[in-house]
Amino acid sequence: MKCAIPIRRPARLPTSPDTFGRTFERFLAQFDRASPRTELEARLIGVSVPVSIPYVHPRCVTFAKTSQRQTYLARTDEKWHHDLVARDTFEEFWQGPKRGAKTWIALFAAPQDGLHNGRNMDMEIWHAFALLIIKSPSGYGKHVVIWDCDCAEQLDLDDGHRMPRPRATHVLTGCQKELLRFIKKKKSSFRLWYNTDASWRYSGRCVQASMLKVKNWFSCGDLPYGGEKDARLNNCVELSLT
């Protein structure tokens, strides 16, 4: 499988993971698979629209559950209220209108520690990453890819070798660990993959990198997992779920 667009760095993308949710929504709305193909091609300048269109969630995902969003609504400054309702929960992403799509894509932008303890939004340290969920060819089970530009340093090659299948609990960070727990409750059978490409690491550009990855995955089309040659998993390593 060869994706139609290389990852580049276009201008005029949000630059901070604490950007208002509506701004993310405008970006993600470009990929609406319910839109006529002519509209997609007109909106997605510089992106090759694939024959089969994957599902891209229309809002950024921030909260593990609705109660966390409600906690923030109750405790944060009113200036954030319109932003919070434009950010989705894990469940809202999972229940989104996939309409049979084999490929699901989402952009996550959340407090990095994943605690969601109701502190003022201005006090949180935010981080963005991209999520890809691909259906297995057999129709049973899924492949889950967490693409974090600030990938764990412990996965760097040591003398050309990498520890096989490192534990997810040793690699993932706050919000990602919450996401893994959520997926385990939803799916009894899945494989988890994680990015090891460190070219964006600590660049302070997690939003740009994640958005570009969303574009890249979108251009690959709505296809089931393609095995070792699946370009969507380039530079990814499988993590152990135990």
Q: What is the pLDDT of residues 27-49, one digit of tens each?
A: 999 999 999 999 999 888 888 89
The residues, any chain, with a CB within 8 Å of residue 3's CB and separated by 6 or more, are 216, 217, 219, 220, 231, 232
Taking the model in full, what pTM does it have? 0.88
Q: Which residues contact 100 (CB under 8 A, 6 or more apart)?
A: none
Q: What is the pLDDT of residues 51-101, one digit of tens each?
A: 999 999 999 999 999 888 888 777 777 767 778 888 999 999 999 999 999
| Dist CA 144 CA 136 (whole Å) | 10
Q: Please, are residues 12 and 45 in contact by the beta-carbon 8 Å criterion?
A: no
CA pair distance 132, 61, nearest whole angstrom: 13
**Mean pLDDT for the chain?**
85
- Residue 9's pLDDT is 40
**CA gap 17, 128 in Å, rounded:** 6
What are the sequence ranges of the domains in the chain? 21-239
| pLDDT greater than 90 at residue 154 | no
User: Which pLDDT tens digit goes with each residue over 1-25?
Assistant: 555 444 444 335 666 777 778 889 9
What is the pLDDT, as a whole number, of residue 210?
94
| pLDDT average, residue stretch 207-213 | 93
Report phi then psi at 213, rounded to 5: -70, -40
Q: Which two three-digit tokens encode residue 36? A: 């006529």
